[in-house]
Amino acid sequence: MNNLTHRAGVKEANLVIRNLRLNNVSAANRHALLDEIEHLFGIDDVSYNDEENKIYLAYDASNLCLDGIEDIIQKHGAEIHDDWWTHTKENYYKFIDKNIKDNAEHIPVCCHKPPLARPINKRTQSHK
């Protein structure tokens, strides 16, 4: 796959897939919740499984993070399921998202460039 098969703002190298169990999702708030997440810059796909009460997300972690998505979930009256496994996954996802964002913003330093020309110090030349 390449970047042309994804939505705008999504690069394949930074694409992550997440799934989390949610509570308090009803037919009334599910549509509004998914619609708002669907329109975020950097989201590639979002869906909700009613039987498992899970939200499935695919997004570019250099443009979007799980914290912003959680704010939208809470805004619509839903919440992340309160159990050990879901919290463990949530914290792991946030850690990976932060690393991807930090690496995307990092400007690498190349060691294969010639050194910058330094001005010649006249004092050290006169002693030679």
Condensed to tens digits (0 to 9), the pLDDT of residues 57-67 reads: 999 888 888 88
* pLDDT, position 4: 60
| Pick among 3.30.70.100, 3.40.50.720, 2.10.109.10, 3.40.50.150: CATH of 9-105 | 3.30.70.100
Smallest Cα–Cα separation from 16: which of 82, 84, 87, 101?
101
According to DSSP, residue 18 is labeled: E
Condensed to tens digits (0 to 9), the pLDDT of residues 26-39 reads 888 899 999 999 98
pTM attached to this predicted model: 0.74
Q: Where are the domains of the chain?
A: 9-105
pLDDT at 113: 66
Q: At what angle do helices 66-75 and 84-105 cross, to 10 degrees?
A: 130
Measured in degrees and rounded to the nearest 5, phi and psi for residue 59 equal -150, 165
Phi, psi at 92, each rounded to 5°: -65, -45
d(CA 14, CA 58): 10
- Burial (CB count within 10 angstroms: exposed 0-12, middle 13-18, buried 19+), residue 89: middle
